[in-house]
């Protein structure tokens, strides 16, 4: 009986902790909603690695999340979406969730981590064709874009089917470097790829622990965004200059500029790239069709295809808007 007061105190302390965390979560989401338009163009690491800002953007009718790879960030052109729509000319702008080397699997994790927030929303997904010419995606590509929060968000998602999560687990296990310091997650993934009853039971047992870890990472994500907002003077009222876009005129100007910057070759490749040592081999004469067999072999064997299917399945099961 003497231990009952201590038990009551522990229960009260736990209740206070849960309420405090819930209160912080509500506060941080309110702060993110207020400042997400000001944070959208800043190219913050937390935009890529976290889910808080992506979720806040989905809740805004004037922000469109764009997922992609190097094709979305390296071309410094006035026609880039983030520049063309910077001042909300047609009522919206984009939030760029693109990073060099991003593949279908990492984008699937990004979107899966958003969960129900994705339902009925619009997103843009850009896939680099080059990824489908790799037999195996270079490990540094996947590791450089790996987010533990996003990976956990997919595997422990209550909204996604077990079949989809099992397929994703198999593909994640193909990148062991990202799992070296996470034995719990590696153990979970290895059992998810096994269809035996005991392996499924292990996943059921692991799920509460995984979900708890995911929620803790979400809180850390919110904390990083709050810390950034508190540490910088941001004006939540961003500039908006409504105007009509002359699509035909912009297209004509862009084509003219492209031609003027590709005078060194007949392939439409920018002069600085063409003149670089990395691409000069393209000028060598090759017999027509001599590289077809190798190209088709790489294309057919590319591991990007099953990853692309995982991405499409995530989008289908979470149900973003058309």
pLDDT tens readout for residues 194-228: 888 888 888 888 899 999 999 999 999 999 999 99
Residue (of 122, 137, 29) closest to 67 by Cα position:
122
**Which letter does DSSP use for residue 232 in this model?**
S
Domain that holds residue 221: 42-245+295-318
**pTM (two decimals):** 0.87
Asked if residue 32 is part of any domain, the answer here is: no
125-160 pLDDT, tens digit per residue, is 998 888 888 777 788 889 999 999 999 999 999 999
Residue 98 host element (H or E): strand 93-98
For 243, residues 6+ apart whose C-beta sits below 8 A from its C-beta are 89
Residue (of 178, 222, 185) closest to 207 by Cα position:
185
Q: What pLDDT is recorded for position 251?
A: 92
Whole-angstrom distance, CA of residue 24 vs CA of residue 18: 10
Asked if residue 314 is part of any domain, the answer here is: yes
Asked if residue 283 is part of any domain, the answer here is: no
For 313, residues 6+ apart whose C-beta sits below 8 A from its C-beta are 161, 164, 167
Do residues 126 and 72 touch, judged by C-beta distance below 8 A?
yes
Q: Per residue in 89-113, is it b (16+ CB within 10 Å) or e — as a string?
A: eeeebbbbbbbebbbbbbbbbbbbb
Q: What pLDDT is recorded for position 301?
A: 84
Asked if residue 251 is part of any domain, the answer here is: no
* DSSP 3-state of 202: helix
Asked if residue 192 is part of any domain, the answer here is: yes
Asked if residue 23 is part of any domain, the answer here is: no
Whole-angstrom distance, CA of residue 201 vs CA of residue 194: 11
Whole-angstrom distance, CA of residue 140 vs CA of residue 177: 9
Residue 184 host element (H or E): helix 183-192
Residues of the chain with pLDDT under 50: 1
Query: Percent of the chain scored above 70 by pLDDT?
Result: 92
Q: What pLDDT is recorded for position 281?
A: 61
Q: What pLDDT is recorded for position 1?
A: 45
What integer best gives the mean pLDDT of the chain? 88
Asked if residue 269 is part of any domain, the answer here is: no
* DSSP 3-state of 318: helix
Q: Total domain count for the chain?
A: 1
Residue (of 122, 172, 118, 117) closest to 145 by Cα position:
172
Asked if residue 286 is part of any domain, the answer here is: no
């Amino acid at each position: 009986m003497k231990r009952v007061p201590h038990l009551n105190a522990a229960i009260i302390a736990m209740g206070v902790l849960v309420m405090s965390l819930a209160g912080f979560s509500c506060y941080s989401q309110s702060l993110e909603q207020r400042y997400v338009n000001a944070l959208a163009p800043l190219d913050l690491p937390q935009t890529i690695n976290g889910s808080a800002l992506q979720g806040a953007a989905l809740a805004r009718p004037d922000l469109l999340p764009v997922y992609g790879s190097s094709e979305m960030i390296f071309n410094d052109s006035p026609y880039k979406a983030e520049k063309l729509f910077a001042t909300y000319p047609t009522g919206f702008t984009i939030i760029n969730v693109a990073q060099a080397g991003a593949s279908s699997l990492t984008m699937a994790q990004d979107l899966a981590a958003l969960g129900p927030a994705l339902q009925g929303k619009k997103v843009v997904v850009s896939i680099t064709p080059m990824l489908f010419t790799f037999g195996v995606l270079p490990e540094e590509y996947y590791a450089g874009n790996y987010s533990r929060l996003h990976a956990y968000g997919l595997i422990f998602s209550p909204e996604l089917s077990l079949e989809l999560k099992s397929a994703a687990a198999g593909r994640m296990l193909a990148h062991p470097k990202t799992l070296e310091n996470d034995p719990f997650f590696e153990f979970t993934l290895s059992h998810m790829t096994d269809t035996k009853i005991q392996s499924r039971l292990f996943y059921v047992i692991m799920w509460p622990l995984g979900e708890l870890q995911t929620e803790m990472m979400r809180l850390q994500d919110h904390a990083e965004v709050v810390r950034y907002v508190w540490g910088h003077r941001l004006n939540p009222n961003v500039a908006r200059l409504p105007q009509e876009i002359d699509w035909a005129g912009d297209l004509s100007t862009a084509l003219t500029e492209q031609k003027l910057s590709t005078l060194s070759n007949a392939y439409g490749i920018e002069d600085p790239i063409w003149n670089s040592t990395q691409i000069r081999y393209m000028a060598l004469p090759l017999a027509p069709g001599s590289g077809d067999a190798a190209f088709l072999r790489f294309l057919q064997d590319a591991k990007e295809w099953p990853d692309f299917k995982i991405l499409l399945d995530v989008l289908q099961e979470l149900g973003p808007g058309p």
